[in-house]
Amino acid sequence: MKSFLNVSLLCLAVFMLSSCKKSNPVESSPSVLQIWPFKTGNTWAYQAISFDSTGTVTQSGSGAFIVTTDTIVGGETWYHLSTAGTMFYTNRSDGLWVMWNNTSGLNQELLFKYPVSAGDNWNYGADLVFVQSTDTLITVMAGTYHCYEYRVFYNSNPLCDYYCCPGVGFIAEDYFSSTNSGRLYRAWNLRTSSVTLK
């Protein structure tokens, strides 16, 4: 299984956080054309926390998704995230796409559909992506945002939830694991602490 969004991307993340306060949430709008806007220098700093199966914090830290460079492929501009290995990303009219190279050649695949409706789903490699909600309110250090919630399933089991605010991008991520008895629990999360958009 390839690492989903490989940013975690990941879902993985963001937009205009510096102008938004927790008391003035960012409103998502169908007129916003990108679920996660990319431009070289854009940065989404985050706090990361790991948990054991009882919910006890086992580790914490911080990091950032930074758009480090861009490249033109087939007339399209693709962007590289600092945490994404050899993967590149671009926004098209139907959502956020991922591109990577492997032994079979250059691959491109739709990661996050946008615009999209709650209940929509599609395959991303061996994973299934399901839209839980198009208006989940998430509060993080950077502010409060109306987010699209994408749940990723692997082998029919929930793998992670990604929260993205249109026009802002990555806001939060929850990654799931399970105990030997099969009980699902949140193993770690990422929460955006600041956003810098160029």
3-state secondary structure (DSSP) of residue 54: coil
Q: What is the CA radius of gyration of the chain?
A: 16
Domain ranges of the chain: 4-13+31-196
Architecture of domain 4-13+31-196: Beta Barrel (2.40)
Which amino acid is present at 89?
Y
Largest CA distance in the chain: 50
- 0.85 cut: is pTM over it? no
Q: Tens of pLDDT along 86-137?
A: 899 999 999 999 999 888 889 999 999 999 999 999 999 999 999 999 999 9
Q: Tens of pLDDT along 33-92?
A: 799 999 999 999 999 999 999 999 999 999 999 999 999 999 999 999 998 888 999 999
Q: Find all residues with CB under 8 Å of 67, minimum gap 6, and list them.
A: 38, 39, 40, 41, 42, 43, 79, 80, 81, 82
The residues facing 195 across adjacent strands are 44
CA distance 31 to 41: 24
Pick the closest to residue 164 from 48, 62, 22, 34 (CA basis). Answer: 34
